[in-house]
Every structure is written in C-alpha cells, then in structure tokens.
Amino acid sequence: MTNTNNRSAGLVRGALAALALAVAGAAFWLTPAISAEDAVKIPPPAIDEKAATGSEKAIFAGGCFWGVQGVFQHVKGVSKAVSGYTGGAKDDAVYETVGTGRTGHAESVEITYDPSVVTYGQLLQVYFSVAHNPTQLNYQGPDSGTQYRSTIFAENDAQKKIAQSYIAQLDKAKVFSEPIVTTLETGKTFYPAENYHQDFLTLNPTYPYIVYNDLPKVANLKTLFPALYSEKPVLVLSASN
C-alpha cells in the first residue's frame, strides 16, 4: 500500500477486480489466478539451518507488509508475525515518514518461529515463492519506492549464508523469468508498526487492496505448501490483549 497515487491506483485496480469477481460469482479468496503476481513453484534450499529447539526470529521485506504478514501468520511453526519497519533510524519508524522513501526503512515483517517445526530455509521458500515477487526492484505490484524493496534482514551469519546460497541456487535454476533482486542487510533493528497495520489482512478481508493483492497469496500458500499451512492465523493484537 502507498500514501499517494500508487495507493489510489492500487485501490482502483482492487475495486475493479472485486467487482468483476462478484459479477462472475467467483470465490476470489480461493482463486490464486486473480493475483497481481502468480506464485512460482520453487525447490527447497539446498542449504538450511540445523535442527534446533526454542524460538528464532527472521525479518523479511517484500512490498506492503499487510500481505507478507498475512502469509506468515498462516505458516505452521510461526508463533508471531509483526508488521514494522527495518533499515532506518528509530525516530523515522513512522508510517507517514517511511512513506517518503527517504528513511532507509523498508516495510517488513518480524517472524518468530520454532525451527523444529519450520526451518529458516522453509520460511525463505515461502517468502520467494508466495509472499512476494523477488524480481521486482523497489516495487511490488502497485506500490513503488525503496520502502517496498525486496530485502532479507539476516539476524546472524548463518541466516545470511543460507539466504545467499538460496538466491544463487534459484538464479542458477532460472525458476523466475528475471534475476532475483532481493538484497541482504545485516545489523538492522526492527521497529513494530502502528497497531492499525497489525493483522490488517485478517481484519479487513473485503478491503479491495487485500482482495486483489494479498488474499491470493494466502490461497497460494495453502495450495503450494499444504504441509506448512495453518488455517488459523496467529494474530498480533489478540496476543497482546
């Protein structure tokens, strides 16, 4: 989602898509084909983290955080997925400020997960395949600007190594029609976004932007990764109440 004309354009497209689907009587939430970008079936990473217990964190940026959060809230082994900002200063971690594209921040999602249930490599597989299009440079669908860049914020050297290896693996296999432009950033702090951005997909399933851009991602997750899919999302706001 964007603050200015990009948001308006996205909403217009979403409204038209929703209207067309209503006329056709289609169940848009079960129809991946209406997505702005189709998911791509990709192989698992050749290198992954070792089995571990406890919980770990991963931070991914891939366009509007509404959809990225919504996808990972439906992944088994994920106990929390929080929308926020990563890459810039604490004082700039405000939606309107980040929207200028001049803060260094990217809309991102911090994922807390159990590596004994879902590995970092599996999260990356979902990220590249379902959550966004990793070949789009500084934009996703109707949203443009560096705040919508495709970036993996590695928490440690192990995550960085796995991500670098996987990007090279996918590019070599040419699973995408264009090269992957996803960047790797380290040593960055995650700042949670405002409450009104949390759980946005779940709370606003008929919002045109969500209908057109994001609900198909959840449907694709269910179709392509049935073993990882959880019907009930883990929500931020309910967990904090």
Cβ-contact 67, 142 below 8 angstroms: no
List phi, psi (to 5°) of 63.
90, -155
- Asked about 64 being catalytic, the answer comes back as yes
Q: CA–CA separation, 67 vs 36, rounded Å?
A: 12
Q: Which candidate in 39, 42, 61, 64 is catalytic? A: 64
| Burial class of residue 90 (count of CB atoms within 10 Å of its CB; 0-12, 13-18, 19+) | exposed
**Crossing angle for the helix pair 65-72 and 215-224, to the nearest 10 degrees:** 30
Where helices occur in the chain by DSSP H, the ranges are 5-24, 65-72, 95-98, 120-126, 157-173, 200-203, 208-209, 215-224, 236-240
Bridge partners for 86 per DSSP: 106, 190
- Could you say which DSSP state residue 229 is in? B
Catalytic residue numbers, as ranges: 64
